[in-house]
Amino acid sequence: MVDNARVAMVAGATGLVGQEILAALLADKTYSAVHCVGRRTLEQKHPKLFCHVVDFAALPHDLPRVDDCFIALGTTIKVAGSQEAFRAIDLKAVEALALAVKASGATKLGVVSAMGANSQSSVFYNRIKGEMEVSLARMGFKSLVIARPSLIDGDRTALNQPGRAGEGLGLMLTRKLGPLLPSNYRAIAAKDVAHALIRSVKAGTPGVVTLLSGEMQGG
């Protein structure tokens, strides 16, 4: 531990990027404690890990006081079951947690969005991600870091998660074409996204910082 160590919160720690964020924070002596919030507890044990089972639609008023928050919540319409259910997770749950941690003292927030996020997009997925970014930017965090990865390279089956439509083919193609593609369009390792996001949140640049996929490669 270090003097004046910070306390972090992570949401989405069972996902590809979320699990890498959690692992990195637990190994980082900058943080004395890491709180995880989710719909189920984690099997993982660590001296500075504290798990909280929550309903994102009705968050408790007594969330632990934290300094930095990392949100990696996300699903697909297929898994969620409907556009409204997708919106409840990728927009409403993210908004609710951001407001709750801000009330609990958090000054810095890092969130995983997506390449193509645009609140005016005609593509539903991109529009919801864009609306989420706009909403968080209005909340007044001292520092907000938005990561916009391209196709995330990782094994979802190892996490007991279903593969995403077209993801396998997309990863195969981008792995073969990698050097020929612009850096923002290459598949990116979940660990690279996590490390880049943590590094930027710790830097604490005032205002809103957007990390494009190419900037996070090899992070």
Question: Structure tokens of 126?
Answer: 């991109």
E strand or H helix at 195:
helix 190-203
164-209 pLDDT per residue, tens: 555 555 555 566 655 666 677 788 899 999 999 999 999 999 999 9
In this prediction the pTM is 0.88
Helix axes 190-203, 16-27, angle to 10 degrees: 50
Is 1 a domain residue?
A: no
CATH number at residue 72: 3.40.50.720
Is 31 a domain residue?
A: yes
Question: Structure tokens of 35?
Answer: 């709180």
Residue labelled with tokens 């094994």: 155
Handedness of CA 58, 135, 69, 105 (dihedral sign): negative
Give the domain extent around 83: 6-212
Is 163 a domain residue?
A: yes
Is 219 a domain residue?
A: no
Is 217 a domain residue?
A: no
Report how many domains make up the chain: 1
Contact 110, 203 (CB under 8 A): no
Lowest mean pLDDT among 34-43, 53-62, 181-190, 204-213: 181-190
Is 171 a domain residue?
A: yes
Distance CA 150, CA 156 (A): 16
